[in-house]
Structures are given as structure tokens and as C-alpha cells.
Chains A and B, each alone.
Chain A
Amino acid sequence: MSIKVGIPRGLFYYQFFPLWRSFFEELGAEIVVSDYTSRKILDDGVKKCVDEACLPVKIFFGHVENIKNRVDYLFLPRYTSVSKKEYVCPKFGGIPDMIRNTFNDLPKIIDTEINLRKSERNALKAAIEIGRHFSNDTKAIRKAYRKALLSYREFRQQLQKGILPDELLNNKVQSSDVISMENLPRKNKFNNRNRINDDENLNIAVLGHGYNLYDNYTNMNALYKLRNLGANVITIDMIDGKIINEKSKLLNKKTFWYFGSIIMGSAFHLLDRNDIDGIIYIMSFGCGIDSFICDLVERAIRRTKNIPFIILTIDEHTGEAGMDTRIEAFIDMIRWRKNYESNISSHGKYVYMR
């Protein structure tokens, strides 16, 4: 029987799962992914985790609880850094320790440190260390890693076609999801969904960390709701990495957070384009990085352009109705602005109507 490796469906799952899936499968391990985020997983996480942690970390705890009794290994690498000169977030760096000191009956944990801060070569080193749990053959591990990288790149390329990771990972991709990022379609793209009117498509950029954007329970299907309201959704993963890298250098001091640079770079890129109708920022309450980045993005947008911008903060108490109202109102305002901007209401009209 092959070794079962558990991967919790949270945090970097939406970013690196294809990489690790192909890596572990190549090494002959069986992968067990925790269930989709649900009320129960959230509740378990909230119970186990310290109150002050942010929502994604709490959910991650819930996923660990969900999976820990079904696997031989729990895969919780310490993501200190995944890009040069940048960190991910202190909580990502401390996750294995947080988990180990919170739960009692855990399976073996793979907590290899992944630290590309100094050199990108460390990735291979980490991969070999991880692979050692399953194989003694360094050559085979190297080969598995190379193959994993290929499938990771393939995954990233797919994302840039406007497909959401969630659709990609669950094989739910519909041909209508594929859109060209350079030339966003305005007409009839989403007519197969339950559209509410025949207006042309809006282009709405959604900024935020991957685990907030793509976990449909966390953000209450925000992205799909936007699509159903007739919007082309553009997320940070759909923008070319090279552009982001270039643009993030525009900051006075480059941020030392992976997500910080990516979001700032995306925001600057979006401000350069003329076809973006609105920007939504989804942040989780108490996120240390977003508290700064979100503010910087807002300042950058307000300074340079007249694009509508809204921040949606989510935590474990968020009610879906409040979320819907905000999204719908935001879209309505943009549509009204487009359609009726020249229609100035004449003040005092009703006085003379009598």
C-alpha cells in the first residue's frame, strides 16, 4: 500500500497544489486532500486556533483537523519565502510550529523549510529533502521535481487564460471561461449563465491573496457572483508575471512580501490599462500584509485614476447577504455610471412639474 500524504486545502493549496500533486504521484505516494471548506471545517478551525489569527489560518487549522486521521504524512512545508528577497508572511513561516503545538494526535509532519529568499536553487534542495521521505534515489526525486515543475508551469499558463484555479483543479473548465487577457471580451461572453440583463460585460479586477480569492466558501462565491452579474473577472494570477515584476519596482521601496509585490505590481498594471471598470480588494480581517498593501493600492488608485474601488473584508462572522449587497451595489453603480453619466438630474424638477 502506498504512503498517504495529506495536503490541507488551504493557504498555498491554490498556488502550489499542481506542483506537489505531480511530485508526490511521481514518487509513488497517494495524495489525500482535505474536503472543501465548509461550516464544519471553519468551526473546527476557529475552535483550535488562537482568536487573533486571520481567517485563512483558522480555516487551515480546520483542514488539518479534517485530514489528520486519514493520512500517514501531513504535508506542511514551512514556506518562509517563495521568491527572491521576499518573505511570504510570518504566519506561513510559523504554520508547522503552530499546528504541532496545537494538535495532540498528529501523524508525521513534513515541515521542510522552503526558503528561496537568497537563491532559487534552494527549491530543488527542499524538494530533495521532502522526497527523501518516499525514496532514497536522488535521481528519481530530481526527475519527479522536474516533472512537477512542468505541470506547475502548465497550471500557471492556464490561469492566465482567465480560468480560476478552482475550476482547473476540479476539472470544471468550460470553454466560455477562456478569455484573452489582452483583449477582454465585451459582448455576450457569459450569456450561458443566468445573466440579469444584456449590458456589455464589465471588466472587474479582483485583488487579494490567492487563498481568499479562490476559496469559494471563504469569499462566498464572490468571483462566480461577479461573473453571473456579467463581469470578466481578472485576478492577480491572470496577469503576466513579468509585467507584475516590472511594475512592482515602481514602488519607492519594494515590499518584502511575496503577496505585497504581486498585488502592488498588479495594481499598477491595472492602472495602466484603460479597459478596467472597477477594482475589488478582498482581504481577510487582521491580515498584516493587506492592512498596508490595501491602503497603498487605494492611495495609488485615488491619486491617478477615477476607477471605482471597494474593499471587502472577510472574517468568520461575515454574512453572505452583506457580501452580496456590496458586490451588487458596486456593479450597479458602475453600470449606472456608464449608462447615465451624462443624464444630469435637473434640480428642482418636481417643483415645476405640478
Chain B
Amino acid sequence: MKVTFPHMGNMYICVKALLDDLDMDYILPPFTSKKTLEIGTRYVPECACLPLKITLGNLLEANRLGADTVLMVGGCGPCRFGYYCEMHREILDDLGTNMKVITLEPPHGDVKEFMRRIKNLTKNAGVFKILNAIKNATRIAIAVDELERLTFKIRPREVEKGTVNEVYKQFKNDVISLKGSKEIIRLIKDTEKKLLQIKIDENFKPLKIGIVGEIYTTIDDYTCFGIQQRLGGMGVEVHRYVTVSNWITEHMIKQTLKLPRDLRFAKAAKPYLGTMIGGHAQETVGNTILYAQNGYDGVIQLYPLTCMPEIVAESILPAVERDFDIPVLTLIIDEMTGEAGYFTRVEAFIDLLHRRREKRQIEGRYILSGN
């Protein structure tokens, strides 16, 4: 049995650590590329959302490398993500790939059933070993996300542009050749040190932009054209609440063990979107408000075309924009999106934010733009 799993941003690092620690045989699909998307688009129904296309492409590429079992997370809706496993199964079946899809559903209080499934997968590894592996993987997910947040902070301030990108890229490539959670954690720590050594301009006050939207598009660098790096390069500090580790701890672990969750976003979103309607709609609305309250200059919403929850969020955001006086740019991505058109919009948005800030600083004495 050779296991594989689709890519989603940096999630491969923690899944890799998990599978390594459980001594499972797996194949890491090649990083998402234009080819991946092309393969996926060919077989997935056209109106389906972009992540399905990319993930299927990942799986087929892994299949060519010899993978025969797919590990997928399930869900119970109403977002389409919960049904991805079935779509993968059907499409892979019809293509005659003989790939088996194993779904790990969020256990919904039934921890025993969840453990039984994992035990089946891991050829009866001990419970302690499994729990330990899950714990380590969660730790890595958190560490990787913190590392990414650090790059968001340093990138706009670095003196020599491009240093952070180099270090970060090095890390992403190096991590593949490592084995086990211990080595990965060590590498993360080393990278963190390297990042902290980068010379930064202490006095520079970058624009601050919050990224909200559908989780896959915001997390996955290929899908969002590396918007976080690009913004950093333009001297903009970005922040994003939604992360892989956040999803694992808040969604999988805390909900299963019925621990109190961090629901600041839900509280903030309450007057606009009262209930959970699936996906990250409530997070999008709530986090936009939190960004506005924390003095961010603007918010960018990203989502794949036809994403149901985000469409609801998008139609509510204008009210938030008006009430909290924070500019929001919505960018919708699908397989036809052109990079140039996309970044023209982002650049124009950044220019407007710069001008807006300038206008506030010189209040009253404002004559012409560029003065």
C-alpha cells in the first residue's frame, strides 16, 4: 500500500511527519504546477470549485509515481469540501486508476471509531504511538504556520529584497528529504534562526493587509499566485487568521474533545452573519471586522469561483466595509485566471491604500495626490 494525499499549502510537512512517524509507505505528490491543474481540469466537472481540480491533479500525478491509496479528510457539509473524497473516488474509478480512497471523517465525538480507522491504516500500531504521532504532527503544523507568519513580518522590512524568499524556498525543498518529526522540527528551528538574522529596516512602517477567504485558496501559494509573498515584496505586511494548524486544533481536536474554541470571529460577525453556514464564511466576515478594529489598512478576500459560503460572505462584506471604514478587495480565482490581470488589481488596491494613508496623515493640508 502506497499512500498519497493532495497538497494544500504547507500541509504536506505535517502530514509527512505523521506518516513518517507511523512508518507508513507514502508518495508525496509533486508540488502543484500548471500541469497539475491541467490534468485536474480535464477530468473534474467544469463548475466544480478549483481546489477539487488541483487536488485531483495531485492525486493523478502521485498515481503516475506509483501511489495506490488516497488519504482524504471528509466532512459533513454544507461546504462541498466534505464531499471531495467521494468525487475523487468516482473520478479515479472511472479513469481506471485502481486507486483506493480512504476518508478520515472528523470524528464528531466518536473518538473510538476514528482511532479504529487509523489503526486499520497503520497496520495496528499502538495507540500511544498513534497519539504521539498526531501530537507531533500538530506541533509541526503550528510551528510551520508560525514560521510562515514570521516571513510575513520580515519580508516587507528586509533590507536586501528577496532574502526571506530564498530562505523560505530552501526550507520548503529541504524538508522533503527529511524523515520523521524530530528532524523536521529541528529544521524549522534552524530556519527560524536564519530568518531572524536577516537585516531589517526597523523604522519602516509597512501597510498592513489582512487576508480572508476560503481556506484552500488563501493557504495554497500556487492557487493564490503567491499573493502573500508578492505583497511582502511590495512592502506590505500581511496577516491571515486561517491556517492549517488553526484548522487542525480548532476544528478537529477541540471540536472532537468538546473544548472551548476561539470564537472571536463568530462574536464579531454576529450582527452580520449570525450562524455558521459552512466553509469559512463566518470567519471571513468576522476576521474582516477584527482586522478593521486592529487598525489594518485593508483586507483582501480570496475564493475560488462558485464557492458557496464565500459568495454569501462577499455579499455581506460591503456592509462591513461601510460600517468599519475598511477597504476590501475581492479576488476570485479559477483555472482561467491570468496572473497579470490579477496583480494589476492588487497593485491598484495597494496604491489606493497608500494614498488613503497619506491622506489621513496630512489631514486638511491635502492638495494633490503625490504631493
B-contacting residues of A (Cβ < 8 Å)? 49-50, 52-53, 78, 80, 85-91, 93-94, 97-98, 101-102, 113, 251-253, 255-257, 283, 285-292, 294-296, 299, 303
Contact = CB atoms under 8 A, between A and B. Distances in A.
A257 B78 contact: yes
A104 to B, nearest CB: 10
B80 A288 contact: yes
A197 B113 CA distance: 61
B314 A50 contact: yes
A253 B311 contact: no
A292 B87 contact: yes
A49 B306 contact: no
A89 B86 contact: no
B45 A255 contact: no
Please list the 8 inter-chain residue pairs (A to B) with the smallest Cβ-Cβ separation, ordered nearest first.
A94-B312, A256-B77, A87-B78, A291-B47, A93-B277, A101-B319, A295-B45, A288-B308
A139 B312 CA distance: 37
Contacts of A88: 78
B147 interface: no
How many interface residues does chain B have, given as a range?
35 or more
Most buried by B among A85, A94, A252, A292: A94
A42 B316 CA distance: 20
A283 B80 CA distance: 16
A296 B87 CA distance: 8
5 contacts: A94-B309, A253-B103, A255-B83, A256-B83, A292-B83
B308 A89 contact: yes
A contact face: mostly helix, strand, loop, or mixed: mixed
Interface stretch (B174-182, B238-246, B267-275): B267-275
A50 B78 contact: no
A101 B314 CA distance: 10
B145 to A, nearest CB: 26
Contact of B311 (A91, A102, A295): A91
Given A52-B332, A101-B272, A252-B86, 5 more contacts: A78-B275, A102-B318, A252-B89, A257-B78, A285-B47
Given A251-B86, A252-B89, A294 B78 contact: no
B277 A90 contact: yes
Interface string B320-357: 00000000000010000000000000000000000000
A102 B87 contact: no
Given A80-B275, A87-B278, A97 B312 contact: yes
Nearest to B103: A253
B306 A93 contact: no
Interface string B265-303: 000000011110111010000000000000000000000
A91 B323 CA distance: 23
A140 B85 CA distance: 47
A105 to B, nearest CB: 14
B47 A287 contact: yes
B306 A102 contact: no
A93 B276 CA distance: 8
Nearest to B85: A253
Given A53-B315, A80-B275, A93 B45 contact: no
